[in-house]
Structure 1
Amino acid sequence: MHFTFTKSGIFFYKKPFLLMLFFALTLLVNRQAEAQVIYQGGSNVQLLYGRDLQQSGDLATITLEHFGSYGAVEQFVFADLFNDVSLASPNLYMEWYPKVSLSRATGKKIGLGPISDVLLSGGINVLFGGPEDFFVYTAGPAFKFRIPGSGLLQLETYYHKQLGEEYDGTYQITPSWDVVLPVSEKVHLRFRGFMDYIGDRGPGSTQYLTQPQLFLDLGNTWGKPGKMYFGSEWRYWNNVAGIEGLEESFLQANLLISL
């Protein structure tokens, strides 16, 4: 079974947290709606295929991804359908991360030095299929950083708790990035990805997962930048699911189409 922990689990968490976060987001959205703030967002679909570099086996994945912001509130959500190349009876993995920008919520710049904003975030990670279902709650602060030009560089710090297990909650530190690298007028590269570092949960070992992606902006070559990208993704997972000594290393071709 192959599944991905991405953008998940150093913040105190109790079960009512997500409910309180939901109401807070609702109030903020209503407040922003009164101010006639326009929702902004974007979506894409990704088609990936690759082979395990350490053992035989292939992996095919269809990913739907969406980012959106509405005033002080933003969210990131994605869903993966994955299995072998046939994609017969695929597993489904989903993550959702609503966040509140303190700068936009208060109307004051919340930042210091290279930090441009601080956000409060919650999240859920869900796997359907495989030997057993998987559900993780996360909560914690996120920090956005100033970088030259356009793009994203952020650091998310979370408390991470897997539901239905007696394992202790743990921490997760997740840097992520998405930047454009213009090589020439026609050739634009896009470098994006993340790394999850998840602490020891008790019987589970410390683990880390990274999925850097490098794309060529195909659309830019015919005058329509940002519409279609082709490139590669390397997925490396050390101590898969906290199992010490178990590793995955997939090199995948990736076609990304903006919707």
Structure 2
Amino acid sequence: MGASKRFKGGLVRLASGLAVAAATLMGSTGGAAAGDGIIQWSDTFIGLRYGATYAEPANDHDVEKVIFQGQHVSGWTYGQNFVNIDVLLDLEESDEAQKDGGGGAREIYAVFREKLSSAKIFGASYGGIIRDIGLTFGGDLSYKDDAFNARVRKFVIGPTIDFEVPGFLSVGVLLGTEHNHNGIGLAYNIPGVDASVDFDPTWRIETAWGLPIPLDIGVPMSFEGFMNIIGPKGEDGFGNDTVYEVLLDAAIMFDVGAPAGTPKTFMVGFGYQWWKNKFGNDPDLTTVGTEASVPQFVAQFHF
């Protein structure tokens, strides 16, 4: 086996190991309180998002989805853990079918990020607008039951800056690798199209925030979300050149449990997703489904 294949295989195994470690952490630390041993604080929630105008490349239908979500974030002695798992269900087979035509397509997508803190490890202090600088690494894993049959395997690493704001705001500049699977190439034996897809390493900017909104309407409000900007990553699963992509997912959330004496427990809100050049598809080549503009309903139960 060549050095390149060994390297890529190692990244896949590392990403898989990170996901397993994240799942173990999620199960063992969800109820930890501040100061309990190695875990200093934690927040875990289950929730859902709903939208009717999601887009999929090469699909000329708006896709109606409900997305069930589980997320865990915690601070520990030397950094911060983040795990998010989405289960995405298409509500109409006619919008996007399973690969065997048995109903609407289904997908599971897991993200794990570990951020090592220079403030916690080295006692660094930055002052001004910078709260902390850390090293972020992690991976993405997915499986989708549709014709393309995507199986994303990503590994990312790079520096992240946390800014001194009410709530949190972080910006990471990362290097990432990606491996995927092209079920269409496999099913139809298209010449020159391989089922295994290895993209070129590329840069990505990952931004996340949770900012309180200082308006008195009877319930606390916050502005929450993330935005990823990803560079071109070489050829896709059909031999076409990829382009940069932008994914924005943000919501205004209302802490509706606070008036009943259970703050930061039950949150509902209204969000918006904008996804340009989805998965790096060039709209000049893939003429439909490369841009999503989706109003979303969001609900979360924190424990």
TM bucket by the smaller chain?
Answer: 0.7 to 0.9
Note the 1:65-214 alignment, pairs <5 A. 65-85=71-91, 90-109=106-125, 111=126, 113-130=128-145, 131-147=149-165, 150-163=166-179, 165-184=197-216, 186-202=218-234, 203-214=241-252
Structure 1 window deviating more from structure 2 (131-140 vs 45-54): it is: 45-54
Structure 1 CA distance, aligned partners of 2:71 and 2:153? 19
Residue 54 of structure 2 contacts residue 64 of structure 2 at CA under 8 Å; is this kept in 1?
no
Residue 69 of structure 2 contacts residue 86 of structure 2 at CA under 8 Å; is this kept in 1?
yes
Deviations 1:178-214 (A, max 9, x none): 0111322722111101110000112211110000111
Letter of the structure 2 residue corresponding to residue 155 of structure 1: V
Structure 1 CA distance, aligned partners of 2:260 and 2:74? 27
Letter of the structure 1 residue corresponding to residue 298 of structure 2: N
Q: What is the number of residues matched between the two proteins?
A: 232
The equivalent position to 1:218 in structure 2, one of 256, 277, 292, is: 256
Residue 269 of structure 2 contacts residue 297 of structure 2 at CA under 8 Å; is this kept in 1?
yes
Q: Does 1:253 align with 2:297?
A: yes
How has the CA–CA distance of structure 1 residues 37 and 84 changed in structure 2, closer, same or farther, with 3 Å as cutoff? closer
Q: Does 1:61 align with 2:93?
A: no
1:108 Cα deviation (Å)? 3.1
Structure 1 window deviating more from structure 2 (99-108 vs 185-194): it is: 185-194
Give secondary structure in 1 for the equivalent of 2:258: helix
Residue 39 of structure 2 contacts residue 74 of structure 2 at CA under 8 Å; is this kept in 1?
no
Structure with the greater relative contact order (CA < 8 A, sep ≥ 6): 1 or 2?
Answer: 1
Residue 209 of structure 1 contacts residue 237 of structure 1 at CA under 8 Å; is this kept in 2?
yes
Letter of the structure 2 residue corresponding to residue 179 of structure 1: L
Query: What runs of 5+ residues in structure 1 fail to find an aligned partner?
Result: 1-12, 26-34
Deviations 1:91-126 (A, max 9, x none): 1100000111011011232x3531111111111011
Structure 2 CA distance, aligned partners of 1:76 and 1:38? 13
Query: What runs of 5+ residues in structure 2 fail to find an aligned partner?
Result: 1-6, 22-35, 56-60, 93-102, 180-195, 235-240, 284-289
1:37 Cα deviation (Å)? 4.4
Structure 2 CA distance, aligned partners of 1:141 and 1:103? 13
Structure 1 window deviating more from structure 2 (202-211 vs 36-45): it is: 36-45
Letter of the structure 1 residue corresponding to residue 79 of structure 2: V
Give secondary structure in 1 for the equivalent of 2:121: helix
Give secondary structure in 1 for the equivalent of 2:233: coil
How has the CA–CA distance of structure 1 residues 41 and 53 changed in structure 2, closer, same or farther, with 3 Å as cutoff? closer
Residue 274 of structure 2 contacts residue 293 of structure 2 at CA under 8 Å; is this kept in 1?
yes
1:53 Cα deviation (Å)? 6.9
Report the TM-score, using the length of structure 2 for normalisation: 0.70
Letter of the structure 2 residue corresponding to residue 116 of structure 1: R
How has the CA–CA distance of structure 1 residues 38 and 61 changed in structure 2, closer, same or farther, with 3 Å as cutoff? closer
Q: Does 1:46 align with 2:77?
A: no
Residue 49 of structure 1 contacts residue 254 of structure 1 at CA under 8 Å; is this kept in 2?
yes
Letter of the structure 1 residue corresponding to residue 150 of structure 2: E
Letter of the structure 1 residue corresponding to residue 163 of structure 2: F
1:36 Cα deviation (Å)? 4.9
% identical aligned pairs = 22
Deviations 1:149-185 (A, max 9, x none): x300110111011026343211001221101113227
Report the TM-score, using the length of structure 1 for normalisation: 0.81
Residue 276 of structure 2 contacts residue 291 of structure 2 at CA under 8 Å; is this kept in 1?
yes
Which residue is 2:191 aligned to? none
Please report the RMSD computed on the Cα atoms of aligned residues, expressed in angstroms: 2.7
Which one has the largest radius of gyration? Answer: 2
Structure 1 CA distance, aligned partners of 2:225 and 2:169? 10
Q: Does 1:234 align with 2:272?
A: yes
